[in-house]
Amino acid sequence: MEQQETILKVKIRMAKECPKCHSKNLKEVEDKTKAIAYFNHQPIYRKKAVCRDCTYEWFPEGGAE
């Protein structure tokens, strides 16, 4: 683990496994359709998790969808 873990990491929880098939073969993409916040003038996007096995997509931070 590096020391450069940012505050953002604390706020935006990463997906650990797929809620459908419990695969850990995930990728995360940013939902760039809208910024949820700005941090140091950088837009923060919602992270969307995508399961590579079953293609299920969800928002791991538990936002509305």
Which residues are at the interface with Zn ion (CB under 5 A)? 18, 20-21, 23, 51, 53-54, 56
Shortest distance, position 13 Cβ to Zn ion, whole Å: 18
Q: How far is the CB of 11 from Zn ion (least distance, A)?
A: 25
Contact 58, 29 (CB under 8 A): no
Cβ proximity to Zn ion: between 21 and 29 the closer is 21
Taking alpha carbons only, the member of 9, 16, 7, 6 closest to residue 60 is 16
Residue 37 beta carbon to Zn ion: minimum distance, rounded to whole angstroms:
28
Helices (H), the chain: 7-11
